[in-house]
Amino acid sequence: MNFIKDSIFGRPDEPEKLKKKIPGPGVPILGDLPTATKWTLANPGKLPMHRTLELHGQFGPVYSFGVGSATFVIVGDPAMFRQVLTHEDFQEHINLPFLKTFGARKGIFMADYERWKVHRRFSHRILRDLGFGKIQMQDNILREATHLVDDLRSRCSEPVETRAAMSCAVSNVINQLVFGKRFDYSEPEFARQLDSARMVTNISLTLVPCRAPPASPRATPSSRPSASARSPGTRRSLDFNNNEADQPEDFITAFLREQVHQDPDSEHYFTDDDLCDIVADFFVAGTDTTAVALTWAALLLAKHQDVQDKVRAELFYLGDTILEKQAGLHYTRAFWDEVLRFCMLVPLNMRHSVRETSVGGYRIPADTVVGANAYAVSRNAELFPEPETFRPARFLDAEGCYCRSPGMDGLVFGAGKRGCMGESLARMEMLVFLASLVQNFQLELPEKERPRFSEIFIGEDGAVHQPKQHRILFTELPRD
């Protein structure tokens, strides 16, 4: 057994090192707070993720620090990074006592193991039935891309805040899946929903539409117990005798169907709170991430006009056939890999040790938060020479064909059982929305923004690394 474990995860840990304390910054009792504050004051404009590189340089690939009663271990070596993502001992996301106090243990991302298992399996099945990640999803995305282009076209005369436009488009793809409808970009309720999605931490308390799920378009009076019989609110009755139950039209309806099949007298994982938290997870995990990826992409295209020309040359004449042709889009695929590596949307992937274990030869007690440092891997010069240079061609071979780098494994979407559930959808959206931008517009940085480029680019701290607020000029391309 040990032989198999060692051959997968490397040499057994050296017993002497296992006894050693993990090195790291900070002082007794106050932990890392004073050292982190000092660093922040000395490095204005830099982000905590930049500090992690300095700390790896100082303490090695594994370092540790305390904040309050919690201990954090950060792992920045590529092999150890993948070990944390894929090993059974780390198959929970961050699990801190204050999160439990706020009840943030339902849904998928933060759920306890048993609940997570049920929710992930159920959600996976329903999303697949709804066309998630499949070519049929393309229609939804293409339709939304048309709305995005119309919106940008109506504002061509002035620079546009890209992030807001991307959020509307991406969020509507999730709205279609979850609620079975899209919102007009100018609807006040939609603006409120987008604001809520940004308030990641108290998302399940504020995401209004999921506290009052909209009625299904096929809602009819029912002869059997209905969702409305057990849960108050604005919900109308749903007919659960319907033979089309195998083909849900949206996630909420599918969940409510499952809910009425549960025994009301025994504990189950299909409560209204579970529904709210799963839906919140889809919005938080699926909206900001993809919208920010597109915002970075637009910014980099505006900055690197030569790259924009090459992407446009590949995508311009493809029209709506983009997803069918994607295997042959060598430069575009290389471009996306480089955008995602360069910008590192989720710089630290926070996991949690479910039992005592070890990483890099150090003992990790049970219940330790372990951060798989994707940012450090993305800046590893052995995997990605000159890592601070934005160069899509690093993912092309001598013939100009796309070649995936093993360094990208798990880097952007995580890996293992807890890997991202939305990767295929996100990749589709990124490709289709990008194509709609370069097929219709020339993207440029307005004069006013040019001197700010490095400031915009350093970006802002948060669960998702995003560029500082900026505007881009979208000039409509002539149609021949």
- Candidates 85, 311, 432, 473; binder of ligand HEM (CB under 6 A) is 85
- Candidates 152, 425, 428, 456; binder of ligand HEM (CB under 6 A) is 425
Binders of ligand HEM in range 266-295 (CB under 6 A): 281-282, 285-286, 289-290, 293
> Is 401 within any annotated ligand binding site?
no
Q: What angle do CA 465, 469, 470 make, to 5 degrees?
A: 125
The DSSP code for 407 is G
Alpha-carbon distance 459 to 446, whole Å? 18
Alpha-carbon distance 65 to 68, whole Å? 10
- Examine residue 414 and tell whether it contacts ligand HEM (CB under 6 A): yes
Q: Dihedral (C-alpha) 474, 478, 479, 480: value to the nearest 10 degrees?
A: -160
- Examine residue 172 and tell whether it contacts ligand HEM (CB under 6 A): no
Retrieve residue 288's tokens: 């900001």
The DSSP code for 160 is B
Q: Cα–chain-centroid distance for residue 392?
A: 21
Kindly report the length of the chain.
480
Alpha-carbon distance 249 to 118, whole Å? 21
- Candidates 24, 213, 361, 422; binder of ligand HEM (CB under 6 A) is 422
Name the one range near ligand HEM by CB under 6 A: 62-70, 226-234, 243-251, 415-423.
415-423
Nearer to ligand HEM, 56 or 418 (CB): 418
Nearer to ligand HEM, 49 or 426 (CB): 426
Binders of ligand HEM in range 179-238 (CB under 6 A): none
Cα atoms in the 13 Å half-sphere on the side-chain side of 62:
20
- Candidates 345, 359, 370, 432; binder of ligand HEM (CB under 6 A) is 345
Name the one range near ligand HEM by CB under 6 A: 245-253, 259-267, 383-391, 408-416.
408-416
- Examine residue 462 and tell whether it contacts ligand HEM (CB under 6 A): no
Q: Are 323 and 441 in contact (CB under 8 A)?
A: no
Please say whether the dihedral angle defined by the alpha carbons of residues 100, 104, 106 and 111, taken in this order, is positive or negative: negative
Phi, psi for residue 73 in degrees, rounded to 5: -120, 130
Nearer to ligand HEM, 25 or 351 (CB): 351
Assign 3-class secondary structure to 230-279: HCCCCCCCCCCCCHHHHCCCCHHHHHHHHHHCCCCCCCCCCCHHHHHHHH
- Examine residue 421 and tell whether it contacts ligand HEM (CB under 6 A): yes
DSSP three-state, residue 16: helix
What residue type is assigned to position 224 of the chain? R
CB of 179 to ligand HEM, least distance (A): 13
Q: Are 391 and 96 in contact (CB under 8 A)?
A: no
Retrieve residue 25's tokens: 């910054």
Nearer to ligand HEM, 364 or 420 (CB): 420
Q: Which residues on adjacent β-strands are paired with residue 358? A: 363
CB of 317 to ligand HEM, least distance (A): 26
DSSP alpha helix (H) spans, 304-452? 305-315, 330-343, 374-378, 423-440
Nearer to ligand HEM, 109 or 441 (CB): 109
Binding mask 92-111 for ligand HEM (x = CB under 6 A): -x--------------xx--
CB of 249 to ligand HEM, least distance (A): 17
- Examine residue 412 and tell whether it contacts ligand HEM (CB under 6 A): yes
- Examine residue 52 and tell whether it contacts ligand HEM (CB under 6 A): no
- Examine residue 346 and tell whether it contacts ligand HEM (CB under 6 A): yes
- Examine residue 334 and tell whether it contacts ligand HEM (CB under 6 A): no
Retrieve residue 213's tokens: 């799920």
CB of 107 to ligand HEM, least distance (A): 8
CB of 37 to ligand HEM, least distance (A): 28
Name the one range near ligand HEM by CB under 6 A: 242-250, 261-269, 418-426, 455-463.
418-426
* Count of residues that bind ligand HEM according to CB under 6 A: 27
Q: List, as own/partner pairs, every contact residues 204-212 make where C-beta atoms lie below 8 angstroms and the sequence separation is at least 24, other chains included.
A: 204/103, 204/104, 204/106, 204/107, 204/273, 204/276, 204/277, 204/280, 207/276, 207/279, 207/280, 207/283, 209/179, 210/178, 210/252, 210/275, 210/276, 210/279, 210/280, 211/276
Nearer to ligand HEM, 285 or 369 (CB): 285
Q: Dihedral (C-alpha) 414, 419, 423, 426: value to the nearest 10 degrees?
A: -70
Retrieve residue 185's tokens: 């970009």
Alpha-carbon distance 354 to 366, whole Å? 6
- Candidates 413, 433, 441, 474; binder of ligand HEM (CB under 6 A) is 413
CB of 127 to ligand HEM, least distance (A): 7
Nearer to ligand HEM, 127 or 302 (CB): 127
Binders of ligand HEM in range 113-142 (CB under 6 A): 120
- Examine residue 303 and tell whether it contacts ligand HEM (CB under 6 A): no
Q: Are 18 and 358 in contact (CB under 8 A)?
A: yes
Binding residues: 420
Binding residues for heme: 420
Under the rule (CB under 6 A), what is the footprint of ligand HEM? 85, 93, 108-109, 120, 281-282, 285-286, 289-290, 293, 345-346, 349, 412-416, 418-422, 425-426
